Amino acid sequence: MFLDEYSNIQPVAYKTLIQAIKNNKISHAYIFETNNNTDSFEFVKAFVKDIFCIDLKEEDKFKISLQVDNNEYPELKLVIPSGINIKKEEILELQNDFKNKSLFNNKKIYIINNAEKLNQSSSNTLLKFLEEPSENIIAILIVASRYELLKTILSRCQLISLVNNKIKLDTDIEEFLLSKNTIDIDSINVAELIENTIKFICFFEKNKNNTLLFINREFNSYFNNREKVLLAFEIMKLFYLDVLKFKQIKKIELFKKYKQEIENISNFKEIDYILKRIEIIIECYDRIKYNVNLNLLMDYYCNN
C-alpha cells in the first residue's frame, strides 16, 4: 500500500507528504502523531515506500514494497521497544548502523515506534543525532501525542498529525468530545460551546474581513479561558474535516446537525482552502499549548 491509498482517509497528511516527495523537499525528521489512529504504522510505511520508490519501475516498486512490509529492506531500520523504555544503547546502535552509505537508495530511514517510550537518556542521545542531520538520513518518530516528547525533539521535526480513524459515522460530536478526555471540560457546557464555535466559523466564512470585530464583541466574551479556546479549536478542526469529507464524498461524520452549514461552506470553498484552514487550526492549537496570548492568536487566525 502506497500513500495514494490514503488520499481520502488522511487528506491533510497525504497532501503535505506527497507534495514534499514531488517537490524534493522531504524533511530530515518527522513526528507522526497518531491520535490513537490504529492504522498509523501502515500509513508511515506507505510514506516510506513512496520515498524509496521515487522514479522506479512498477516491478521494482512491488519488490521494495514487499521488503518494507516484511522489514527486510536494508535501508530501513525499525526501533520497536521491547520493554518499558527505549534504551540509550538502542539509539547508539541505530546511529552506528547509519554510519555506512546507502547500498540501493540515496535515502536511509529509521522509524522509532512508540517514541513516547524514549527515556531521558535515550531522548538526549537521539537529540544529538537530530541536531546534526545527514542529507540522506530521514528520522521518523511515531507517538500517540506530540506532548509526550521533549520540546527540543519536537522543535527539530516536522509534525504530521493523523486523524483518529475510530470515529464512527453515527457518533455525536458532544459524546465524542467528552470521550476524548484530552481537556478538562467538567465545568464547560459542551453543547453551548459547540453552538458558539459553529456560529464563529459561519461568521468567519461569510465576513472574514470583519471577523476581528466579532471577536472583540462576542468571541472573547464567551471563549474567556484557555480550556474553552482549546476545545473550540478542537471542534473547529473536526468541523472542517467534515467539510472536507462532504466536499469529497458527500458524507458527514460528526456534525450531522449542521449539514446546511457544512454544505454552504463546501459549495463555495475549494479543497486547498479547506486544507489550509485545517493546517492553521492545528498550528493555533499548538500555540495555545505554549501559552500564547489569546488575542494575538485570534488575530493570527483571522488574518491567515
For the segment 76-85, what is each residue's pLDDT rounded down to a tens digit?
Answer: 999 988 778 8
Cell numbers placing 4: 495514494
94: Cβ contacts below 8 Å, ≥ 6 apart: 77, 79, 110, 129
Question: What average pLDDT score do residues 248-258 get?
Answer: 87
Cross-strand pairs, 29: 139
Strand ranges for 41-88 from DSSP E: 76-79
For residues 292 and 87, which has the higher predicted lDDT (pLDDT)? 87
Q: Where are the domains of the chain?
A: 3-161, 173-302
Q: What percent of the chain has pLDDT over 90?
A: 40
Q: How many helices (H) and strands (E) does the chain have?
A: 14, 5
116: Cβ contacts below 8 Å, ≥ 6 apart: 143, 144, 145, 148, 149
- CA nearest to 120, candidates 140, 91, 142: 91
Of 37-41, 111-115, 213-217, where does mean pLDDT reach its minimum? Answer: 213-217
pLDDT at 186: 56
pLDDT-derived band at 286, boundaries 50, 70, 90: confident
Q: Centre a 10 Å sphere on the Cβ of residue 38 and count the other Cβ atoms it contains.
A: 10
The 3-state DSSP composition of the chain as helix, strand, coil percent (nearest 5) reads 60, 10, 35
Question: What average pLDDT score do residues 209-236 get?
Answer: 79
pLDDT at 31: 95
pLDDT-derived band at 287, boundaries 50, 70, 90: confident
For the cut 60, the answer to whether the pLDDT of residue 184 exceeds it is no
For the segment 87-124, what is each residue's pLDDT rounded down to a tens digit?
Answer: 999 999 988 888 776 666 678 999 999 999 999 999 99
Q: What gap in Å lies between CA 291 and CA 286, rounded to an integer?
A: 9
Asked if 162 contacts 40 with a C-beta cutoff of 8 angstroms, the reply is: yes
Could you tell me the pTM of the whole model? 0.65
DSSP 219: I
For the cut 90, the answer to whether the pLDDT of residue 140 exceeds it is yes
- Cα Rg of the chain, angstroms: 21
pLDDT at 21: 94
What's domain 3-161's architecture?
3-Layer(aba) Sandwich (3.40)
pLDDT at 48: 96
The DSSP string of 78-137 is: EE--SSSSB-HHHHHHHHHHTTSPPSS-S-EEEEETTGGGB-HHHHHHHHHHHHS--TTE
pLDDT-derived band at 169, boundaries 50, 70, 90: very low
Residue bearing cell 518527522: 30
pLDDT-derived band at 170, boundaries 50, 70, 90: very low
Q: What gap in Å lies between CA 116 and CA 99, rounded to an integer?
A: 25
Q: What gap in Å lies between CA 83 and CA 63, rounded to an integer?
A: 32
Q: What gap in Å lies between CA 185 and CA 229, rounded to an integer?
A: 11
pLDDT at 280: 92
Sheet holding 76-79, edge to edge: 76-79, 108-112, 137-143, 29-33, 158-161
Q: What gap in Å lies between CA 194 and CA 259, rounded to an integer?
A: 14
Question: What average pLDDT score do residues 135-154 get?
Answer: 89
For the segment 1-31, what is each residue's pLDDT rounded down to a tens digit?
Answer: 899 999 888 888 999 999 999 999 999 999 9
